[in-house]
Amino acid sequence: MKNNEHLFDQITIMKSNPHYRLGDIIFQVGERWEHDHDIIANNDVYKNTILRTYIDNKKINTKIDEKCLSRVIKQFGEDVKTDKNTLYINIRLGDVVTNWDGGVSVPNCAGKNKSVFIYNNNKLLQKIRRAVENNNDINHIQFVTSLHFGDNKIHNRFFYTQEAVQENRILFDQIIKKITTEFDQSVSVHNNQSADQIQLIDQHVLILSCCRHVIYDNSGFGQVVRLIRQIT
């Protein structure tokens, strides 16, 4: 894969992020969103983050306060810089290779159930083809992603394991091989070693929401990006 063989090693591994889950909190879904909402709302660790600011300012008894969310994204995204010639791609990695019992890449694992890109490469390749064919200014592809493990200790699932990381590596490398075989654009991974994982999640949603060219996965995070791009 030429110079792309070490791209996976540039992806941040979030071994434990049980609470700061944008899709669950904003859409109020999942088996523990209320628990996580209260932790974010009452823990100083989450001050000055997108989710905490949204929670503090959204209208009470409103499921999704789009006007508030739009204001928050504009506030946090004022200094975000993206490249107009880059296609930014978010793919869901991490605990999606596991099922509720911890099995890896079994038929009922989370990612297969949702048909995310690592299990549906053709869907991603079709989207890239469409983007490149319709925008001849795209000269680079950048993945905006992390290996996210939302370790759910309440229900005892989605934990970090080396086996899960290795499975992510295999699946991600397969995608990169297919992309570099078919497309001429250079490929990179967004990497910010100076950011903690909450800051990195916020950076990712801002980049994907503010950029000109984007592809997002079929995940809660991807749906948040989709909503933000519609309302801002």
Query: Which residue in 146, 96, 148 sits closest to 120, CA to CA?
Result: 96
Q: Is residue 149 part of a domain?
A: yes
How much is the average pLDDT of 85-107?
92
Pairing label, strands 147-148, 213-215: unpaired
Which pLDDT score, from 0 to 100, does residue 3 have? 61
Q: Helix-strand-coil percent breakdown of the chain, rounded to 5?
A: 50, 10, 40
Q: Which two tokens stand for residue 79?
A: 């200094």
Confidence label for 185 from pLDDT (cuts 50, 70 and 90): very high
CA dihedral 139, 133, 114, 52 (to 10 degrees): 50
Strands of the 140-143 sheet, one edge to the other: 186-189, 140-143, 86-89, 213-215
Mean pLDDT of the chain: 95
Q: Is residue 225 part of a domain?
A: yes
C-alpha triplet 55, 11, 107: angle, nearest 5° = 85
User: pLDDT per residue over 196-223, tens digit each?
Assistant: 999 999 999 999 999 999 999 999 999 9
Q: Which two tokens stand for residue 49?
A: 């983050």
Mapped onto helix, strand or coil, the DSSP state of residue 99 is: coil
C-alpha triplet 165, 150, 70: angle, nearest 5° = 120
Q: Is residue 67 part of a domain?
A: no
Find all residues with CB under 8 Å of 59, minimum gap 6, and list them.
65, 68
Confidence label for 1 from pLDDT (cuts 50, 70 and 90): very low
Q: Is residue 142 part of a domain?
A: yes
pTM value?
Answer: 0.95
Residue % of the chain over a pLDDT of 90: 85
Q: Is residue 116 part of a domain?
A: yes
Domain that holds residue 108: 2-20+81-231
User: Cα dihedral sign for 12, 13, 16, 17?
Assistant: positive
Reported as half-sphere exposure (CB side, CA atoms, 13 A), residue 142 has a value of 18
How many other C-beta atoms are found inside a 10 Å radius of the C-beta of residue 147? 22
Query: Which residue in 161, 154, 153 sits closest to 109, CA to CA?
Result: 161
Q: Is residue 16 part of a domain?
A: yes
pLDDT at 110 over 90: no
Look up residue 42 and give its amino acid. N
Look up residue 142 and give its amino acid. Q
Q: Which residue has the tokens 């290996």?
A: 147
The total number of structural domains in the chain stands at 1
Look up residue 221 and give its amino acid. F
Strands of the 147-148 sheet, one edge to the other: 13-14, 147-148, 93-94
Q: Is residue 115 part of a domain?
A: yes
Q: Is residue 72 part of a domain?
A: no
